[in-house]
Structure 1
Amino acid sequence: MHIEAFREYCIAKKGVTEGFPFGADVLVFKVMNKMFALTALDRLPPQVNLKCDPERAIALRETYDGYIIPGYHMSKHNWNTIYLQQVPSILIRELIDHSYNLIVAGLPKKTRQALEDLE
């Protein structure tokens, strides 16, 4: 998956905004102001960080050894760094959905309702 496709998939999700809170080279995606994905635009090969269930994170790291690793500059328990061009695009989309859904599930009920009410 190319970084442009990653961005397009993330930004198309309901309630998502993008920005550069950590500087001009780190693109962050948030749902209802909570981060679920980020990428350092200057890193080659392209890499992204996504939140992940801890048990699933370990299994993914074992299966994609060297291509899915503990989150770079993130909580190693809850975040993975994924090399975009070495992991199948279908899995990357699934992991974006997983990260997004984890964040949404953790939102306060009122915020989740506001997300559902968005068109």
Structure 2
Amino acid sequence: MDVERMQAHCLAKPGAWPDDPWGHEHPVIKVGPEGRAKIFAFLRADGVGIKAGSREVADEWLDRHPGRAHVMAYIGRSGWNDLSYDIPDDELLEAVDESYRLVVETLPRKHRPEGWDAG
């Protein structure tokens, strides 16, 4: 996996769009209308930050991938992890898909994108 492939996967999701709120090298990927959107992926050259679920669920990633999965600074207590692109592609894509689902479910129904699948 690399950042370009991950970005393409993220942007293929309904309602997803890139944003650069902090001037980093790679964008964050948001879902929802501007002004109400929420981040579901923090892209980096060497990995991606995702919402894994509860902290307990996020800790399972740390156990399965020591050295390749880390608690995200500042927001890790809320179940966010940094995952290295060294983790198998199928697991990374599944993690991003779950992050998208978890974040979309927090949006008010009127701000959820058409075509997203809750199931």
TM-score, reference length from structure 1: 0.85
Unpaired stretches in structure 2, ≥5 consecutive residues: none
**2:51 corresponds to 1:51:** yes
Counterpart in the other structure of 2:91: 91
Q: What is the Cα-based RMSD across aligned positions, in Å?
A: 1.6
Counterpart in the other structure of 2:104: 104
Q: CA offset at residue 9 of structure 1?
A: 0.2
Q: CA offset at residue 26 of structure 1?
A: 3.8
List aligned pairs for 1:8-27, cutoff 5 A.
8-27=8-27
Unpaired stretches in structure 1, ≥5 consecutive residues: none
What secondary structure does 2:66 align onto?
A: coil
Counterpart in the other structure of 2:4: 4
Counterpart in the other structure of 1:70: 71
Indicate the percent of aligned positions where both proteins have the same amino acid: 30
CA distance in 1, matches of 2:115, 2:43: 28
Deviations 1:52-108 (A, max 9, x none): 11222111110101101101x341122100111x20000000001000000111111
Deviations 1:13-65 (A, max 9, x none): 00000021111424110010210001234xxxx12111111222111110101
Counterpart in the other structure of 1:116: 114
Q: Which runs of 4+ in 1 moved over 4 A?
A: none
Contact kept, 8 Å, 2:7 with 2:43, in 1: the verdict is: no
Q: CA offset at residue 117 of structure 1?
A: 6.6
